[in-house]
């Protein structure tokens, strides 16, 4: 029995020592973590001064293009036939990026155009006075301009696809862009001329053949719109940041199924989340310093461009449901100076400097 008691005592002592050691290791690890967090929020060190008074507040942020990111998805379900843009490509507004299967849309457009031709012959067989003839001429001119606009857009799409295969020259693409611009201007002008003609004094009401033709032309426009939905185009001049689709895949209209992401990376900004307690220290025009772990020891300068008009929950790095202890934040947009080597999506730390001149101006909300 004494031997058993001694062994049990030894085991109890060993377990106690192990627990104490584990507790000590945990406490040391937690202390190191707090020290690292404190160090990451230390004021930025610049040549000439490193005092805490050099900054008023700090906040986490994320780099993004100056105009924000544009996420594109399909307008109608369809199978991807061709992807014309790659990552880092520069595209212009209106350029074709993704082409979906268009066979059904082409068939509908051909049927609508055939019906329009029939209705036009029926209308032309009817005799009307001069005011109605002027209105007919304006309607015909607008319809012709709209068909030319559609043809010019399709021709530019064809040349852009050919250019990707080195089957078209840059000059051909430039001429196609100019033709498309001219077609858009002509359509706008003819639309204005038709409004003036329809508003002329003494203009009679449309006859039944004229109404039938107008309806047929509306069907042609709807078919062109359906055809256009088989294309994903660039809404702005920008660079291609992400391509998430391949030929043969099926696209459906959904904000979660992003086919491409665009952004103008020639100028960058940071979207920072300032804690509610520091809102009174932030002003439009205030100078800031931005730091990134990807570039240790380097400071990037910027200026507060605008602040949000409301306070809400943080979105940077949020994981899971919101906790009662979470702090509300104010989103602040910061324009970065020059062209820093930062990339969209990078996490940063933002440090706000005192700025007397910025405090004199009222803040601008976005």
Fold type of domain 69-94+230-263: OB fold (Dihydrolipoamide Acetyltransferase, E2P) (2.40.50)
CA distances from 299 to 23, 47, 54, 61, 288 (A): 39, 10, 14, 14, 10
Distance CA 248, CA 110 (A): 25
Is residue 73 scored above 60 in pLDDT? yes
Residue 144 sits at φ, ψ, to 5 deg, of: -65, -40
pLDDT at 67: 87
**Predicted confidence band at 14 (pLDDT cuts at 50, 70, 90)?**
low
Both tokens of 194, joined, read 């038709």
Average pLDDT over residues 60-86: 93
Is residue 246 scored above 90 in pLDDT? yes
The more confidently predicted of residues 31 and 216 is 216
Residue by residue, DSSP assigns 160-202 as HHHHHTT-S-HHHHHHHHHHHHHHHHHHHHHHHHHHHHHTSTT
pLDDT at 136: 96
Do the beta carbons of residue 263 and residue 342 sit within 8 Å? no
Do the beta carbons of residue 269 and residue 336 sit within 8 Å? yes
pLDDT at 55: 84
Average pLDDT over residues 221-232: 96
Instruction: Assign 325 to helix, strand or coil.
Output: coil
Place of tokens 């204005």: 192
Do the beta carbons of residue 87 and residue 241 sit within 8 Å? yes
Do the beta carbons of residue 163 and residue 82 sit within 8 Å? no
Q: What residue spans of the chain are helical by DSSP H?
A: 2-40, 103-124, 130-164, 170-198, 208-228, 356-360
Q: What is the pLDDT of residues 286-308, one digit of tens each?
A: 999 999 999 999 999 999 999 99
Average pLDDT over residues 165-187: 95
CA distances from 36 to 22, 30, 169, 297, 331 (A): 21, 10, 56, 16, 25
Percent of the chain with pLDDT over 70: 80
Pairing relationship of beta strands 57-65 and 268-275 according to DSSP bridges: antiparallel
Domain 42-67+265-360 homologous superfamily, CATH: Efflux pump adaptor protein, beta barrel domain (2.40.30.170)
Task: Give the burial class of 366: count Cβ atoms within 10 A of its Cβ; 0-12 exposed, 13-18 middle, 19 or more buried.
Answer: exposed
pLDDT at 336: 96
Q: Structural domain boundaries of the chain?
A: 42-67+265-360, 69-94+230-263
CB atoms within 10 A of CB 306: 16
pLDDT at 209: 96
Considering just the CA atoms, what is the radius of gyration of the chain in Å? 32
């Amino acid at each position: 029995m004494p031997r058993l008691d001694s062994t049990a005592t030894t085991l109890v002592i060993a377990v106690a020592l192990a627990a104490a050691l584990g507790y000590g290791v945990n406490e040391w690890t937690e202390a190191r973590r707090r020290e690292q967090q404190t160090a990451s929020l230390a004021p930025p060190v610049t040549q000439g001064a490193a005092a805490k008074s050099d900054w008023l507040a700090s906040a986490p942020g994320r780099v993004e293009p100056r105009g924000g990111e544009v996420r594109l998805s399909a307008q109608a379900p369809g199978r991807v036939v061709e992807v014309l843009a790659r990552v880092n490509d520069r595209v212009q507004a209106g350029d074709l990026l993704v082409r979906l299967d268009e066979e059904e849309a082409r068939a509908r457009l051909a049927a609508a155009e055939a019906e329009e031709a029939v209705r036009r012959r029926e209308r032309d067989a009817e005799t009307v006075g001069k005011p109605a003839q002027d209105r007919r001429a304006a309607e015909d001119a607008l319809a012709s301009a709209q068909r030319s606009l559609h043809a010019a857009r399709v021709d530019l799409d064809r040349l852009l696809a050919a250019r990707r295969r080195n089957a078209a020259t840059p000059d051909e693409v430039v001429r196609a862009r100019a033709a498309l611009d001219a077609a858009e201007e002509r359509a706008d002008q003819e639309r204005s001329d038709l409004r003036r003609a329809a508003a002329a004094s003494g203009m009679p009401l449309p006859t039944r053949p004229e109404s039938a033709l107008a309806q047929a032309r509306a069907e042609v426009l709807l078919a062109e719109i359906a055809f256009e939905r088989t294309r994903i185009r660039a809404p702005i001049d920008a660079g291609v940041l992400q391509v998430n689709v391949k030929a043969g895949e099926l696209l459906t209209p959904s904000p979660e199924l992003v086919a491409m992401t665009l952004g103008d990376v020639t100028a960058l900004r940071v979207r920072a989340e300032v804690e509610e307690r520091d809102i009174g220290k932030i002003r439009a025009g205030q100078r800031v310093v931005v730091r990134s772990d990807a570039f240790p020891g380097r400071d990037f300068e910027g200026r507060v461009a605008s602040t949000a008009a409301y306070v809400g929950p943080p979105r940077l790095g949020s994981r899971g449901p919101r906790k009662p202890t979470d702090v509300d934040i104010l989103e602040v947009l910061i324009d970065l100076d020059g062209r820093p080597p930062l990339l969209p999506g990078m996490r940063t730390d933002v440090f706000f400097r005192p700025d007397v001149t910025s405090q004199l101006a009222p803040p601008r909300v976005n």
